[in-house]
Amino acid sequence: MKPGQDIIDRGIRDLETGKETIESLLVSIGAPRLREAGILVPQNTFATPEHRLYALLYKSDGDGAHSKYNSLIRRLVSFERAAECGL
């Protein structure tokens, strides 16, 4: 299993059902690159996912939202790199 696979899998499932979650917003952010790596991402991604993700994190984490946002983006990029390498 690639690092971050669990988040991506949950995000794809949430997108398939139209749920706006941290995971579905993260997949929406990475959708173009994930698709290029051969991952089947639903077409119904969220508009402005970066802003929506930050707002969602701010509701639960307040001032810690920035750190959590950056951490999630790093996990997404790590997963994308692994997927591009075929790992």
For residue 87, what pLDDT band results from cuts at 50, 70 and 90? low
pTM of the predicted model as reported, rounded to 2 decimal places:
0.93
Nearest to 24 by CA among 72, 70, 86: 72
Nearest to 14 by CA among 6, 86, 77: 6
Please check the confidence at residue 86 and state whether its pLDDT lies above 80.
no
Residue-number span of the structural domain to which 29 is assigned: 5-84
How many whole angstroms separate alpha carbon 70 and alpha carbon 68?
5
Considering its fold, how many domains does the chain have in total?
1
